Amino acid sequence: MSAVLFGSGQLDAAALWALFLHFMLLSVLAVGGAITTTPEMSRWLVGERGWLSDAQFTTSVALAQAAPGPNVLFVAVIGWNLAGLLGVAVTMVGSLLPSTVLALLASRWGTQHRQRRVVRAFKAGMAPLTIGFLLATGWVLADPLRGYAATPVLVAIAAAFMLWTRASPLWPILLGAVVGAAGWME
């Protein structure tokens, strides 16, 4: 039972506390959703701490994104890989608590002051920032595939598809799955 609750046990109490604080910080920076913080998560968890390999990190994100449900599920999968159910609790509470409180307070204030110039400017300024974060996320997730000639082509097709159509983003994901399953990335 303790193996289920505490996972591999590779993280002690101090490491879990550091993980919680880091995910709280990322929560405040997650403009555009938790997925926009994956480059920093990767840098910290894989590069700085060495708690996950690059393949484990990328697989965690890909698995959670392929599953139905909210975008933030990848945080739970990362937590699970680090410390079982306790890791899930630490990463999810760390990710959700600050952003939820901030969003609640900001939305109440923004609703009351929606006609102010500063509120309109803030909303307009967040769009390019969010796009930049999403591009950085795509860059990190494509890193293991950078040596394959088809990667830039697939990225360009997916980007064009998302920019110029209103169709479901599942279609470019399906295209990537077909390319991978057919072995065209080898």
**Domain ranges (residues) in the chain:** 2-118
Task: Report whether pLDDT(185) > 70.
Answer: no
Enter the pTM of the model.
Answer: 0.60
Q: Tell me the residue type at 74.
A: F
Residue-wise pLDDT tens digits, 2-33: 444 445 557 899 999 999 999 999 998 887 78
Residue indicated by tokens 């901030």: 102
d(CA 24, CA 16): 12
Q: Tell me the residue type at 164.
A: W
Structure tokens at 5: 């609750």
Structure tokens at 134: 């999403």
Residue-wise pLDDT tens digits, 43-93: 999 999 999 999 999 999 988 888 887 888 999 999 999 999 999 999 999
DSSP category for residue 32: T
Residue-wise pLDDT tens digits, 112-150: 888 899 888 888 888 788 778 777 777 777 777 666 776
